[in-house]
Structure 1
Amino acid sequence: MTFTINVQPSGRAFESLADEAILAAGIRQGIGLPYGCKDGACGSCKCKLLSGSVVHGPHQSKALSAEEESAGFILTCCGVAHSDLVIESRQVTEAGAFPIKKMPVRVSALENASHDVKLLRLQLPASDSFQYHAGQYVEFLLRDGERRSYSMANAPHTQEGNPHMELHLRHMPGGKFTDHVFGAMKEKEILRIEGPFGSFFLREDSDKPVILLASGTGFAPIKALIEHMQFKGITRPTTVYWGGRRPADLYQHAWLLTKAAEMPQLRYVPVVSDALPEDGWSGRTGFVHLAVLQDFPDLSGHQVYACGAPIVVDSARAAYTEHAGLPPEEFYADAFTSAADKTSPISPLQQETST
Structure 2
Amino acid sequence: MSFKTTIQPSNHTFPVGKDETILEAALEHGYNLPYSCRNGACGVCKGKILQGSVDYGKAQAFVLSEEEKAAGLALFCCAKPLTDLVVESHEVTTEQEITVKTLPCRVEKMVKLADDVMALYLKLPTNERLQFLSGQYIDILQKEGKPRSFSLANAPHDDELLELHVRNIAGGEFTNHVFTKMKERDILRIKGPLGNFFLHEDSPRPIIFVASGTGFAPVKAIIEHALHIGLKREMHFYWGVRKQADFYMLDKVKEWEALGIKFTPVVSDEQWNGRMGFVHQAVLDDFKDLSGYAVYACGAPVVVEAAHREFTTQRGLPNDAFYSDAFTFVPKT
Output the TM-score relative to the length of structure 2: 0.70
CA RMSD of the aligned region, Å? Answer: 1.7
Output one character per residue of 1:147-197: Cα deviation in whole Å (capped at 9) or x when no partner. Answer: 0000000001012xxx21110010012211111101110000000000000
| Higher relative contact order (Cα pairs below 8 Å, separated by 6+ residues) | 1
Match of 1:251 in 2: 248
Matched residue, 2:114: 114
Aligned equivalents of 1:267, 1:94: Cα separation in 2: 28
In 2, the alpha carbon distance for the partners of 1:138 and 1:248 equals 27
SS at match of 1:333: strand
**What SS does the aligned partner of 1:182 have?**
helix
1:264-292 CA distances to partner (integer Å, 9 max, x unpaired)? 2x11111111224xxxx311111100100
Question: 1-side partners of 2:238 and 2:99: how far apart?
Answer: 32
Return closer, same or farther for 1:94/1:302 CA change in 2, 3 Å cut-off: closer
Gap runs ≥5 in structure 2: 1-91
Cα distance between partner residues in 2 of 1:137 and 1:153: 9
2:197 aligns to what SS in structure 1? coil
* Correspondence for 2:35: none
Aligned to 1:154: 154
How many Å apart are 1:97 and its aligned residue? 2.2
The CA distance in 2 between the partners of 1:95 and 1:256, in whole Å, is: 27
Confirm or deny that 1:132 pairs with 2:132: yes
Mapped to 2, the partners of 1:139 and 1:187 lie a distance apart of 19
Following superposition, the deviation at residue 251 of structure 1 comes to: 1.3
Shift of 1:129: 2.2
Partners of 2:314 and 2:162 in 1: CA distance: 38
**Paired residue for 1:307, among 286, 291, 298?**
298
1:93 Cα deviation after fit: 6.3
What SS class does the counterpart of residue 157 from structure 2 fall into? helix
Indicate whether 1:222 and 2:213 are aligned.
no
1:100 aligns with 2:103: no
Looking at structure 2, the residues matched to 94 and 153 of structure 1 have their Cα atoms a distance apart, in angstroms, of 19
For 1:158 and 1:94, how far apart are their aligned partners in 2?
Answer: 19
Please give the per-residue CA displacement for 1:281-328, whole angstroms capped at 9, x wherever unaligned: 311111100100111110000000000000000000000000000001
Task: Tell me: CA distance 1:289–1:95, structure 2 relative to 1, closer, same or farther (3 Å).
Answer: closer
Unaligned 5+ segments in structure 1 are: 1-91, 344-355
The equivalent of 1:268 in structure 2 is 263
How far off its partner does 1:126 sit?
2.0
SS of equivalent residue, structure 1 residue 256: helix
The alpha carbon displacement at 1:96 in A equals 5.8
- For 2:93 and 2:241, the matched residues in 1 are separated by 34
User: Equivalents in 2 of 1:227, 1:131: separation in Å?
Assistant: 16
Any conservation in 1 of the 2:95–2:133 contact (CA below 8 Å)? Answer: no
Percent identity of the aligned residues? Answer: 50
Partner of 2:202: 205
The CA deviation at 1:95 is: 7.9
CA deviations over 1:96-129 (Å, ceiling 9, x no partner):
6210000011001111111111111111122112
Q: Secondary structure at the match of 1:318?
A: helix
**Which of 150, 166, 169 is equivalent to 1:169?**
166
Match of 1:233, SS state, is coil
Residue 236 (structure 1) aligned to one of 223, 233, 236: 233
2:285 maps to 1:294: yes
Q: What amino acid does structure 1 have at the position aligned with 2:113? A: A
Shift in CA distance, 139/330, structure 1 to aligned 2, threshold 3 Å: same
Q: Is the 8 A contact 2:108 2:121 kept in 1?
A: yes
Task: Give the paired residue count.
Answer: 242
* CA–CA distance in structure 1, aligned partners of residues 319 and 102 of structure 2: 34
Residues of 2 paired with 1:169 and 1:140: CA distance?
Answer: 11
User: Cα gap change, 1:313/1:94 in structure 2, threshold over 3 Å: closer, same or farther?
Assistant: closer
Change in Cα spacing, 1:94 to 1:317, as seen in structure 2 (3 Å) is closer
1:189 has 2:180 as partner: no
Task: Specify the alignment match of 1:87 in structure 2.
Answer: none
Measured against aligned partners, the alpha-carbon deviations of 1:231-270 in whole angstroms (never above 9, x if no partner) come to: 0000100000000011111112232122111x12x11111
TM-score, normalisation: structure 1: 0.66
1:141 counterpart = 2:136: no
Segments of 4+ moved more than 6 angstroms: none
Cα distance in 1, alignment partners of residues 309 and 183 from structure 2: 42
